[in-house]
Amino acid sequence: EEIEKSKGSPSFEREYNLKYLGKIGNVFPQSAIDQCISLGERYKLLPYNKYAVHLAGLDPGFSKITPLYIGEVNTDLQLLRIVYFEGFDDKTTPEQVANRMHQLHRSYMNLWWFIDGSNRSLINQIKTKFNEYTGWEKEEDVSTQMSKIIPVAFNKEHKKMLEKCYIMVSDGHVAIPREYDGLITALRTAQATEWCLNKEDTVNDDDLDALRLLMKRVYFEK
Angle at 71 (CA atoms; ends 152, 42), nearest 5 degrees: 150
Q: How confident is the model at residue 1 (pLDDT cuts 50, 70, 90)?
A: very low
Exposure b/e, 94-104, CB count within 10 A at least 16 = b: beebbeebeeb
Q: Which residues fall within 8 angstroms of residue 133, CB to CB, at 6 or more apart? A: 127, 146, 147
What's the CA gap between 222 and 220, in Å, rounded?
A: 6
Helix 154-170 to helix 205-214 angle, to the nearest 10 degrees?
90
Q: Which of 128-132, 137-141, 181-185 has the lowest mean pLDDT?
A: 137-141
How large is the average pLDDT for residues 163-183? 97
Residue 18: pLDDT above 90? no
Q: What is the mean pLDDT of residues 156-166?
A: 97
| 49: amino acid identity, one letter | N
Rounded to an integer, the average pLDDT of 178-195 is 97
pLDDT tens-digit readout, 28-64 = 999 999 999 999 999 999 998 989 999 999 988 766 7
Q: Does pLDDT of 19 surpass 80? A: no
